[in-house]
Amino acid sequence: MLYLFLFLTLIMLISAIAVIFIKNLISAVIVTTVVSLVASILFIFIAAPDVAITEASIGAALTLVIFIIAISRTKEDDES
Amino acid sequence: MRKFFSLLLLLGFVFYISSIIGTILFHEDFFHAHNVGLQITENAVKQTGSINTITSVVVLYRGFDTLGEVTVLFLAALGISLLFASGKKEKNKIEDESFILKYGSRLLYPFIILFGIYIIVHGHLSPGGGFPGGVIIATGFFIILITSDFIKFNDKLLSVIEGFAGLSFIIFGLIGLFGQDNSFLANFLSTGVPGKIISAGIIPFVYAIIGIKVASELSGAIGTFTLVKQEGSKNE
Amino acid sequence: MNSIVNHEFIIHIASFGLILIGFYIMFTQKNLIKIILGLDIAETGVNIFLVSAGYFKNHTAPIFSKAGLSAEQMTDPIPQALVLTAIVIGFGITALALSLVVKLYRETGTLDVSKIRGLKW
């Protein structure tokens, strides 16, 4: 159980670091959704099921939708 | 140069904070020394009648924080509608929709809304409650909003529903204030048998009101964000 | 604590690592949407840290679903109740910030922070 925990935490930290280096904006948003989903799994390891349901439904569904709508309205890639 | 210095500053800050916090928290006797949480957990089923301790903390023991959260969400939705105030609503139409998108969403959205209502109603019996249930209902409403034509985005109706929900939350609190317990949001209904749906006093009704408020607010905010256009912008 | 590497240590590293990375993204990136992404990551890190303040080893969730559970074996319910509202408020903040970004793009035509006049970085 401890090694599964460590593995999930490493996935979360590597995805968060990868946001710095990704140029395409939609890929960066999808990687942030991965961070939110793994955080929702970590909340179950901490014995907090209420918070896990809320984080999964808000962080994975609504935040992704609103970022994609904002990106499609501005239509610019990360050039720098 | 800027990146290196900002990284150094942040690393120093994080090490300082975590060394202070590591000596206070994460000790086994912290829970028993500061035992407000322990006392709430021991007395929650007798005093409020709800099995889920977190629900009784959110609605009854910490009801003012829920009132503040409702206010902050209302301000955020108000800010979004103010920023898009000068646009006009467009029809929600996606060109060359595929068959699966159009009919799959119509098949799916009643189950999503039913699941959201189930999570709201069983807030005091199992994990969940008004907040995630309202978010799930807003998601189902959003799916049907952008893929079909038979629901129009009526923001006046949504704001009326939201206003009534907020008003009835305040009225529940004021009934407790002017009733016999003389405190805002007091539990004036009987607690009943823990484990049944109609139990735990005012918790099911207050959580249902909060769920309706969150659902209508988020639907209005996301609908404004998606469907309101302005002149001179290059959208698809 | 039995050894150095246990559950509380890993959660500690995860939450403070996310806060660090989120703030680093907010300081050094130039695209406005990436700055809002950094804000979202930092908020997730803070929520993990707050919930982990009430966790102790081998304790369970504070729900009396069976008859024989005792209150001594449960985690603290107060941080979980506060984080529940904090997550919803965080989404409201992200939505408002993104609508400001869309409005800024319509006024100036670019998303680069160093090109918008008045935001010299």
Q: What is the ipTM of this complex?
A: 0.89
Q: Is residue C52 part of a domain?
A: yes
Contact check, Cβ <8 Å, C77/B80: no
In one-letter notation, the amino acid at residue B65 is D
User: In the prediction, which pLDDT does A50 show?
Assistant: 92
pLDDT at C119: 57
pLDDT digits (tens, 9 = 90+) for A53-69: 999 999 999 999 999 99
Residues of chain A neighbouring C31 (CB-CB closer than 8 A): 25, 78, 80
* Chain C residues within an 8 Å CB radius of B19: none
The 10 Å Cβ neighbour count of residue B195 is: 15
Report yes or no: C31 at the B interface, CB cutoff 8 Å: no
Highest mean pLDDT among B21-35, B219-233, C75-89: C75-89
In a domain, A79, yes or no: no
CB contact under 8 A, A43 and C44: no
Give chain A's residues under pLDDT 50.
79-80
Instruction: Supply the Cα-derived Rg of chain A in whole angstroms.
Output: 14
User: Which of C72, C70, C88 has its CA nearest to residue B58?
Assistant: C88
- Look at residue A67 and tell me if it is in a domain: yes
Answer whether C51 sits within 8 Å of A43, measured CB to CB.
Answer: yes
pLDDT in tens, B183-220: 777 777 777 777 777 777 788 889 999 999 999 999 98
Question: What integer pLDDT is reported at residue B21 of this predicted model?
Answer: 74
Question: Residue B188 corresponds to which tokens in the numbers above?
Answer: 């004036």
Q: Is residue C69 part of a domain?
A: no
Is A14 in CB contact (< 8 Å) with chain C? no
Q: Which domain holds residue A61?
A: 2-74
pLDDT at B151: 75
Counting the structural domains of chain C, the total is 1
Task: For residue C60, give the 3-state DSSP assignment.
Answer: strand
Nearest CA in chain B to C12: B18
Answer whether residue B235 shows pLDDT above 50: no
Q: With an 8 Å Cβ cutoff, is C10 touching chain B?
A: no
Nearest to C81 among B3, B28, B62 (CB): B62
Question: Least CB-CB distance to A58: which of B127, B135, B233?
Answer: B135
Size of interface A-B (CB pairs under 8 A): 41
The string of pLDDT tens digits covering residues C49-79 is 999 888 877 888 888 877 777 777 888 888 9
Alpha-carbon span C64 to C71, nearest angstrom:
9
- Angle between helix B99-121 and helix B203-227 axes, rounded to 10 deg: 150
Give the closest-approach CA distance of B154 to chain C in angstroms: 20
User: In the predicted model, is pLDDT for residue C42 greater than 50?
Assistant: yes
Cβ <8 Å between C92 and B72: yes
Domain limits, chain B: 51-229
The chain A residue lying nearest C53, using CA atoms, is A46
Please list the alpha-helical segments (H only) found in chain B: 2-24, 30-33, 36-48, 53-56, 63-83, 99-121, 130-147, 155-178, 203-227
Q: What is the pLDDT of residues B43-92, one digit of tens each?
A: 888 888 888 889 989 988 888 899 999 899 999 999 998 888 777 777 66
Q: How confident is the model at residue B38 (pLDDT cuts 50, 70, 90)?
A: confident
* Separation of alpha carbons A44 and B187, rounded Å: 31
Instruction: Check residue C108 and give its pLDDT.
Output: 83
In the three-class reduction of DSSP (H, G, I as helix; E, B as strand; rest coil), residue C53 is classed as: coil
Q: How confident is the model over B145-168, as a mean pLDDT? A: 84
Q: Which residue is listed with tokens 């009225």?
A: B171
Cα B58 to Cα B79: distance, rounded to the nearest angstrom: 26
| Residue in the structure block whose two tokens are 């991965």 | A34
User: Is the minimum CB–CB distance between A13 and chain B shorter than 8 Å?
Assistant: no
pLDDT at position A80 is 38
In this prediction, residue B33 has a pLDDT band, given cuts at 50, 70 and 90, of low
Minimal Cβ distance to C53: which of B25, B214, B222: B25
Q: Are B179 and B186 spatial neighbours (Cβ–Cβ below 8 Å)? A: yes
Range of the domain at C30: 7-56+74-108
A contacts of B236 (beta carbons < 8 Å): 72
Is residue A34 in a domain? Answer: yes
d(CA B49, CA B131): 20
Domain with C102 in it: what CATH number?
Answer: 1.10.287.3510
The 10s digit of each residue's pLDDT in C93-114 is 999 999 999 988 888 888 888 8
Phi and psi based region of residue C109 (left: phi greater than 0; alpha: psi -120 to 50; beta: remaining): left
Residue-averaged pLDDT of chain B:
82
Q: Is B88 helix (H, G, I), strand (E, B) or coil?
A: strand
% of chain B at pLDDT higher than 70: 87
Q: Are B162 and B156 in contact (CB under 8 A)?
A: no
- One-letter amino acid for residue B208 of the chain: A
> Any idea what DSSP says for residue C69?
-
Tell me, yes or no, whether C66 lies in a domain. Answer: no
